[in-house]
Amino acid sequence: MRITIAGAGISGLSLAYAIREKLGGAGKEAEIFLLESEGRVGGKIRTHHENGYIMEWGPNGFLNNKPDTLALTRKLGIDDLLLPSNDAARKRYIYSGGRLNQLSPAGFLLGGLLSWRGKFRILKEYTIPRCTEETDESLADFVRRRLGKEALDRLIAPMAMGVYGGDPERMSIRSCFPAIYNLEQEYGGLFKGMFGKMKEKRRARTVSGKSEADPSAGPAGPGGVLTTFRGGLDVLTDALGKAFKGKLFLNATVTAVRVTGGKFEVSAEGIDSPLETDIFISATPAHAAKDFLAPLDPQISETLSEIEYVPMSVVGMGFRKTELHSELDGFGFLVAADEARKIIGCLWDSSVFTDRAPEGRASVRAMLGGGRDIKTPFLPDRELSELTLEELKITMALKAAPELTRIFRHEKAIPMYTLGHSDRLSRLDYAEGKYPGLFFSGNAYRGVGLNDCVKESYSVAEKVARII
């Protein structure tokens, strides 16, 4: 039995590991081929080291409130390298009204992020009836209906841009934020849902005998703690690469997948003849899969082509602390949608994680582009770095010049789950049934975060193990 996986990012690597684990536990065996288009494993997880600075090319870390990734680190023997974020990371800001506004209960009640009208409109959410129409509502429409326009522009839209880089007017609330969508569906509203879940947790603690202070209830809180590894996030993908037991093909871009004689025939650059395989799993971005799956089934290719990606550039800068004239005390900030700014936000990396900058230095990363601005990410390097510095001068009152600037470009950064995404998933589920042994995994489908990718890998591994 041969299994071929296209893509050696976090999804493909964790999938190969999970399949081997599931098969081994069931006393089964299979030959696993892993095809990667680049000359390295890791995909968008890549850590840049320079002059003592550590800058992430892609994602910054993962929340430790989900079990799958943490369990994977223990199995790989790298859990001793986990690095939780500093306490300062709990402080988060929104740039609105020409200044940084801290997100906190006190800031909500007394701060200037929202007008009193906007605050009262949010409180009115409790009286807003549940939507009974079975339509795929946009995130923007959902928030305006339940919380008002100010909450959309100054709270939810920045969050959506920070997570997906997407345009709330086109994003599906059901697919992008299912937990929020389900609060209305199950409880009738957001406040009603939060109160309802608090009651359920209290009842569960009463039955189990656990107290409020019981650490097993979750010391990280419902949002978890952002976590990475000492030395950078690619510690995880490097460990998965070393743990891989199978045949790895680098610089092997998959070009076509067909079915011949009951098996999948996989053609790839750098491989002399097509590979015959019993199971084929696409763990590549949807925009790559749409091309190599077109020979197999044009309808699958069309469905994958509907999954949109947004462009983004990340500009990392290193500063001497003595020249900053301000303490970077917090996680960073996002920019309100009604501000005329070119940056999505800025992460204060050296305040979040202790090892991101040398002694006496500070490191930040600004994000530009996304679904509302597809031109800025493609500016020439010098123009983009100058624009970023000017934006930071305005938003952070920054006066210093960086001693180091690095630009990380992503032509297709993050999949944006637009309206109709759940229907696309249904069509891909149908395709898996039509072609037994075909599976899809990755952040294009059921979650864009690292935790989502690892969870999806184990879910697909379960399906694979059942048919072997």
| pLDDT at 221 exceeding the cut of 50 | no
Mean pLDDT over residues 185-199, rounded? 92
Domain ranges of the chain: 2-44+237-307+418-467, 111-216
Residue type (1 letter), 262: G
Is the confidence at residue 394, as pLDDT, over 90?
A: yes
pTM over 0.85: yes
Architecture of domain 2-44+237-307+418-467: 3-Layer(bba) Sandwich (3.50)
pLDDT at 184: 94
pLDDT score for 208: 67
SS3 sequence of the chain: CEEEEECCEHHHHHHHHHHHHHHHHCCCCCEEEEECCCCCCECCCCEEEECCEEEECCCCCEECCCHHHHHHHHHHCCHHHEEECCHHHHCEEEEECCEEEECCHHHHHHCCCCCHHHHHHHHHHHHCCCCCCCCCCEHHHHHHHHCCHHHHHHHHHHHHHHHHCCCCCCEEHHHHCHHHHHHHHHHCCHHHHHHHHHHHHHHHHHHHCCCCCCHHHCCCCCCCCEEEECCCCHHHHHHHHHHCCCEEECCCCEEEEEEECCEEEEEECCCCCCEEECEEEECCCHHHHHHHCCCCCHHHHHHHHCCEEEEEEEEEEEEEHHHHCCCCCCCEEEECCCCCCCEEEEECHHHHCCCCCCCCEEEEEEEEECCCCCCHHHCCHHHHHHHHHHHHHHHHCCCCCCCEEEEEEEEEEEEECECCHHHHHHHHHHHHHHCCCEEECCCCCCCCCHHHHHHHHHHHHHHHHHHC
pLDDT at 101 > cutoff 50: yes
Does the pLDDT of residue 278 top 80, yes or no? Answer: yes
Per CATH, which fold does 111-216 belong to?
protoporphyrinogen ix oxidase, domain 3 (1.10.3110)
Q: What are phi and psi of 354, to 5 degrees?
A: -70, -25
Taking residues 423-430, what's their average pLDDT? 98
Q: What's the chain's average pLDDT?
A: 93
Q: Is the pLDDT confidence value at 215 over 50?
A: no
Q: Is the pLDDT of residue 169 over 70?
A: yes
Q: What percent of the chain has pLDDT over 70?
A: 97
pLDDT digits (tens, 9 = 90+) for 75-93: 999 999 999 999 999 999 9
pLDDT of 217 > 60? The answer is no
